[in-house]
Each structure stands twice: as structure tokens, then as C-alpha cells.
């Protein structure tokens, strides 16, 4: 194994912010290399940069022209590949297929299966109604970014949108077993799940492959009460040693929001308080960007663009997960794992624990936090976590 990577529950290897920053840096470096190929001209300093850019542009255009004359077919193919890769996928509103398998004939007399199936219909109805009310798009444009968090399992034709702190590690284990990569979920280590790259992402396919899978595979996501999900992420990332979140997020948060911060805290970024974390979250001018572990589910999975067939909840994880596995015809000996592989000696984040963290905030901060996640509360039919919220 190579050097250990930063430990993140559900990695954001396709994170757009990181990708944009990386591309910008590479473009800048290439620009510097190109400009160094041309010797300086004895003209006033203020005109050197402009002339150098013009020279580069003329040379590039001249090269493109020569390439086209020499190999017009090759140039056409390159342009065609670029257009296919960059063009968005257009899907008419409410026109993509719903692919939730029907109950088997022997299950239709089973009251438990019938009840769970009806719950799915109701969850999807609320989600669609919310989208219709608050989203005014007449057509949907789905780009690779919108499907970058969706994992693909081709054998059982499943698309799973990864929501951090909502059972995503164990769901990836299940997908790996379904795909024949392991015989049991217990055999798969945490780092293998997140850093092994055994599972394919939907944005790794071409336009035709993405469109085909969106319209024929069973699309599912699992969600969690937003405040509980937020506290779970805070406990995991800031209350335990972490060589990514402390230096990247912790240092910026402490520097901005803590009065008279110690040199040690500013140096390490350790010891972020929940109130400081909420100040960062609600700040429109955050000192550091968002992260998938506390981003909106509405943004991570784009449920108003993608018609999910199955919506499970963390609060009823075992029942919902095993019902889904039953519907897709998974092997009967495969059930959703219940173990907690990170900080296993620590109690899971519960409603009671969540309330104790939010009790540290002022009423205004609780209200603003609720407003921040309002669409998630509305779309997935979660009740207000505190009585004084409006």
C-alpha cells in the first residue's frame, strides 16, 4: 500500500472545488511554460505581457490551421469527442422511467411488504410534490457533476447516491458483495471501501452510458435527519484526530471565529467547538468551502433532476435496506450490516445527543441552522427538531 490518505467517511474524490482548483493551477503552470518559450522583446514592460499572449495565440492558430490541413479527419474526431464529453444530458421533466421492481406475487399478501411498498410511494410523492412546488424547470439538464456521487452496480442494475453519515460505508460494502468483489460485508475493511476504487461512478461513463443507466437501473438513496447527520459529521471529523479536517477546516474556523485563540490551536486546528462550527456553516463568506459531510442532500443527489425509485431512511435503516435487497432479488443470505467500523466504542449519534449539541446554540442560531437545511426537512418529510422553530 502507498502513503495513507486522509481518512474521510465518504471520500469526495470527485469534489468539483478541488477539481477546479487543480485545473486552474495546471493551466497557470502550462501558461508559464508556454510564455517561457518565447524570448523577451525590447518593448516597454507594460506591453510585454500583451504581446507575448498575442504571439502565443498566433502560433497556436497557425498550428491548428496546419493540423487541419494535414489531418482534417483527426481534428474532426477530436472536436466530436470534446462535444460528447462536455454536452449535458437533456431529460424532459417527469419523463424518466421509474424502475422500482414490483412486489412478487407471493409477497402481495404479506402485510409487512405491502406496508413498506406503500411507504416508498408516499416518500416519492412528497419528494416530487416538493420539487414541483419549489423548482420551476420545464426541462432538466443533467451534467456529469449531478451524477458524480452516484455509484453503479451493473449486475443487479443499481444506482446508489452516496450520502455521507447515512450508512454509506456499509452500502458500499453491500454493492461490492453484489458485484462479486467480496463474499461477505464483514471481510471488507474501511480503507478498502473508500480508497480501493472498486466501485464505478456514474460520471465515469460516456453520455450514452449515463443516459441508459438513469433510465433503466433502479436508483436509490438513503437519507438522515439533517441535524443528526450534521452532529454525526462534527463528532467524527472534529472530536477525533484527523489529518485532513483539522488543518484544512479547523485552522480556518478557529482563526476566524475564536477570540484570543492560542498559538497551538491556530497551528493544529484541533479542538473546534460546535458553536464555532455552526458559525462557519452559516457564514456566507466562509473562510473555507463546503464539504460533502455537511452539504445539503438536495445538492448531493439532485432529487429534483433524478427520479429516485427508492428512498430509504437512516432511522429505519435495517428494515428499509433489507426490503430494498428483497425487491432487487439479492441473495437471501445478504443482509445489511449493522456494525460501526469507525469509533466503534463510541455511541452512535442519536436524537438525544443531537439535542445536547444544539442546546449550546442561541435560539437564533438554531433557527438559522433549520433554515439552512429547510429543503431537506421539507423534501424528506422530517419534522421540526425543536418546538420553537418556525
Give the per-residue pLDDT at 98. 62
**Cβ count within 10 A of residue 275:** 14
Give the per-residue pLDDT at 90. 54
Cell numbers placing 145: 457533476
CA distance 223 to 83: 35
List the chain pLDDT tens, one digit each, 390 residues. Answer: 444 444 445 654 444 344 333 443 344 344 433 333 333 434 344 434 444 444 434 444 444 444 545 554 554 444 444 434 445 665 544 444 567 777 777 788 888 999 999 999 999 999 999 999 987 655 678 889 999 999 999 999 999 999 999 999 999 999 999 999 998 998 898 888 888 889 999 999 999 999 999 999 999 999 999 999 999 999 999 999 999 999 999 999 999 999 999 999 999 999 999 999 999 999 999 999 999 999 999 999 999 999 999 999 999 999 999 999 999 999 999 999 987 777 778 899 999 999 999 999 999 999 999 999 999 999 999 999 999 999
CA distance 16 to 36: 30
Question: What length does the chain have?
Answer: 390
Sign of the C-alpha dihedral, residues 16, 17, 18, 23? Answer: positive
Give the per-residue pLDDT at 108. 80
Give the per-residue pLDDT at 340. 75
Buried b / exposed e along 248-259 (16+ C-beta atoms within 10 A): bbbbbbbebbbe
Give the per-residue pLDDT at 376. 97
Q: How would DSSP label each residue in 324-351?
A: HHHHTT--TT--------SSTTSPPP-H
Give the per-residue pLDDT at 97. 52
Chain centroid offset of residue 133 CA: 24
The DSSP letter of residue 102 is: P
Residue with grid cell 473555507, as numbered in its chain: 288
Q: How many helices (H) and strands (E) would you count in the chain?
A: 17, 7
| Burial category of 144 from C-beta neighbours within 10 Å (exposed 0-12, middle 13-18, buried 19 and up) | buried
Give the per-residue pLDDT at 177. 95
Instruction: Kindly provide the residue ranges of all beta strands, DSSP E only, lying in the chain, ordered along the sequence.
Output: 89-92, 139-142, 150-153, 158-161, 200-201, 218-223, 310-313
CA distance 45 to 276: 47
Closest CA to 224 of 12, 385, 346: 385
Note whether 319 and 116 are within 8 A (CB): yes
Amino acid at each position: 500500500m502507498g502513503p495513507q490518505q486522509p481518512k474521510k467517511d465518504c471520500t469526495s474524490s470527485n469534489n468539483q472545488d478541488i477539481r477546479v482548483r487543480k485545473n486552474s493551477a495546471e493551466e497557470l503552470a502550462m501558461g508559464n511554460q508556454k510564455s517561457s518559450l518565447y524570448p523577451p522583446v525590447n518593448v516597454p514592460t507594460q506591453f510585454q505581457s500583451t504581446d507575448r499572449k498575442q504571439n502565443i495565440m498566433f502560433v497556436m492558430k497557425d498550428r491548428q490551421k496546419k493540423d487541419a490541413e494535414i489531418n482534417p479527419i483527426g481534428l474532426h474526431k477530436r472536436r466530436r469527442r470534446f462535444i460528447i464529453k462536455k454536452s449535458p444530458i437533456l431529460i424532459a421533466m417527469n419523463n424518466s422511467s421509474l424502475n422500482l421492481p414490483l412486489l412478487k406475487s407471493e409477497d402481495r399478501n404479506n402485510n409487512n411488504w405491502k406496508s413498506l411498498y406503500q411507504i416508498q410511494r408516499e416518500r416519492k410523492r412528497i419528494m416530487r410534490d416538493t420539487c414541483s412546488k419549489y423548482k420551476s424547470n420545464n426541462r432538466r439538464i443533467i451534467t456529469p457533476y449531478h451524477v458524480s456521487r452516484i455509484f453503479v452496480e451493473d449486475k443487479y442494475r443499481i444506482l446508489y447516491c452516496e450520502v455521507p453519515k447515512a450508512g454509506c460505508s456499509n452500502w458500499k460494502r453491500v454493492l461490492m458483495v453484489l458485484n462479486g468483489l467480496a463474499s461477505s460485508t464483514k471481510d471488507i475493511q474501511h480503507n478498502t471501501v473508500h480508497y480501493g476504487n472498486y466501485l464505478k461512478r456514474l460520471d465515469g461513463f460516456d453520455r450514452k452510458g449515463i443516459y441508459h443507466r438513469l433510465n433503466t437501473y433502479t436508483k436509490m438513496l438513503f437519507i438522515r435527519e439533517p441535524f443528526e447527520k450534521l452532529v454525526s459529521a462534527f463528532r467524527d471529523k472534529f472530536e477525533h484526530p484527523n489529518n485532513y479536517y483539522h488543518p484544512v477546516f479547523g485552522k480556518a474556523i478557529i482563526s476566524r471565529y475564536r477570540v484570543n485563540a492560542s498559538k497551538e490551536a491556530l497551528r493544529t486546528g484541533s479542538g473546534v467547538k460546535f458553536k464555532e462550527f455552526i458559525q462557519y456553516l452559516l457564514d456566507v463568506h466562509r473562510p473555507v468551502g463546503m464539504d460533502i459531510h455537511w452539504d445539503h442532500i438536495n445538492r448531493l443527489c439532485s432529487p429534483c433532476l433524478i427520479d429516485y425509485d427508492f428512498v430509504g431512511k437512516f432511522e429505519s435503516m435495517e428494515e428499509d435496506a433489507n426490503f430494498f435487497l428483497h425487491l432487487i432479488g439479492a441473495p437471501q443470505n445478504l443482509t445489511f450490516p449493522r456494525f460501526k467500523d469507525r469509533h466503534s466504542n463510541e455511541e452512535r449519534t442519536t436524537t438525544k445527543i443531537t439535542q445536547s449539541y444544539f442546546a449550546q446554540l442561541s435560539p437564533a442560531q438554531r433557527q438559522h441552522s433549520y433554515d439552512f437545511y429547510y429543503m431537506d426537512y421539507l423534501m424528506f418529510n422530517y419534522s421540526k427538531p425543536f418546538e420553537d422553530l418556525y
